[in-house]
Amino acid sequence: MEEGAMLPACETQKNEAMELPLFSFSTISKATADFSLNNKLGEGGFGPVYKGMLEEGIEIAVKRLSTTSSQGLDEFKNEVICISKLQHRNLVKLLGCSIQGEEKLLIYEYMPNRSLDRFIFDEKQRTTLDWTKRFDIIKGIARGLVYLHQDSRLRIIHRDLKASNILLDQDMNPKISDFGIARSFGGNETQANTERVVGTYGYMSPEYALDGIFSIKSDVFSFGVLTLEIVSGKRNRGFVHPEHDNNLIGHAWRMHNEGRSMDLIDTSLAESSDPSEVLRSIQVGLLCVQQSPEDRPDMPSVIMMFGSEGALSQPKQPAFFTERNLIGADFSSSTNPTNSTTGLTITDVVAR
């Protein structure tokens, strides 16, 4: 199959045919120096990712479907279906794909600064992102989600929004990536449920983790977690405060109630931060991680909150698990860790 050919029709939930440029396998193999380890950018649930350079000088990132990935083929198809027609400055652009026998590749625009987690969670790199840039990243992610939830051709729920799935271009503009487990909704659909919960613990909303129910409000929850992580420079999962055993969400809630929200901020932001923007971001983050989906704002409302100076509503107690009972749990097995807040159990969760 040659470049310029079109992908055979993939049927969406609306039975709408999609077309995507196809690259020959030899072209991509040459671009990545035969998938050299020196060009390997990382590894995900889908498979390894490589940097490449096309003959015309265009830098690319190539996802190579792992032959050992049980869910990789489904994710490959899903990614093509979900984002082949999406165009937004805060979404990573899918340039094409390659299918040759067992070899299945997805070709994306290359993001020179890689992923957000490499900056906010790294002691040296975190100083690269001052408060202005972090606030811009938060708002950029929000705009990308508004497009997915409301303005795209189909309503799309990402289901795996996290720091490692936010890529940064040369100007540190954020782009949402990895649509392997995204779901598209049509008509008047607002939510769905699944018996197989796939995602990343620490970012999953309680109704999704516990009952397999997902909606745009599931993404809103993940956005809230991500916002708190960007402000604090700490991961929600793995963070355990020595005084009260709460994860990052629980700690942020505690600081908010005690009027000490500024204590949450990444210490590297001390000089660059705008206290009013920081406090607003924390409060918006807490509004997004409230226990009940109905209490969480939608993403257009979040955009309005960031753009105004008016008072925000007070968040209710968020949904959060204490990490003490959950660290090291195998979510893909029959282990049923207990939610310390509700007493419910998490079952059939496949961690990514």
Residue-level pLDDT, tens digit, the chain, 352 residues: 334 333 332 333 333 335 678 899 999 999 999 999 999 998 876 789 999 999 999 999 999 988 766 566 777 877 887 777 788 999 999 999 998 888 899 999 999 999 999 999 999 999 999 999 999 999 999 999 999 999 987 789 999 999 999 999 999 999 999 888 888 876 556 666 776 777 888 999 999 988 888 899 999 999 999 999 999 999 998 787 777 778 999 999 999 999 999 999 999 998 899 999 999 999 999 999 999 999 999 999 999 999 988 889 999 999 765 444 444 333 333 333 333 333 333 333 444 5
| Residue environment code for 180-207, b if the CB has 16+ CB neighbours within 10 A, otherwise e | bbbbbbeeeeeeeeeeebbbbbbbbbbb
pLDDT digit string, tens, across residues 40-85: 998 876 789 999 999 999 999 999 988 766 566 777 877 887 777 7
Residue 175 region, left (φ>0) first, then alpha (ψ -120 to 50), else beta? beta
| Active site members | 160
3-state secondary structure of 309: coil
Please give the backbone phi and psi of residue 143, each rounded to the nearest 5 degrees, phi first.
-65, -40
- CA distance linking residue 4 with residue 290, whole number of Å: 47
- CA distance linking residue 336 with residue 343, whole number of Å: 11
List alpha helices for 202-320, DSSP H. 206-211, 216-232, 248-257, 275-288, 299-307
pTM of the model: 0.85
Domain 117-351 in this protein, CATH class: mainly alpha
Please report the pLDDT score of residue 61 as a whole number.
96
Please report the pLDDT score of residue 243 as a whole number.
73
Long-range contacts of 308-312 (CB under 8 A, 24+ apart): 309/276, 312/280, 312/283, 312/284, 312/287
Residue (of 165, 30, 146, 129) closest to 88 by Cα position: 146
The Cα-based distances of 51 to 63, 177, 203 in angstroms read 9, 15, 28
Q: Where are the domains positioned within the chain?
A: 5-109, 117-351
- CA distance linking residue 72 with residue 103, whole number of Å: 12
Cβ atoms of residues 168 and 115 within 8 Å: yes
Structure-token pair, residue 181: 């487990």
Bridge partners of residue 120, in order along the sequence:
none
> Please, what is the angle between helix 131-146 and helix 216-232, to 10°?
170
- CA distance linking residue 250 with residue 335, whole number of Å: 24
Cβ atoms of residues 174 and 47 within 8 Å: no
Please report the pLDDT score of residue 325 as a whole number.
43
Say which CATH superfamily domain 5-109 falls into: Phosphorylase Kinase; domain 1 (3.30.200.20)
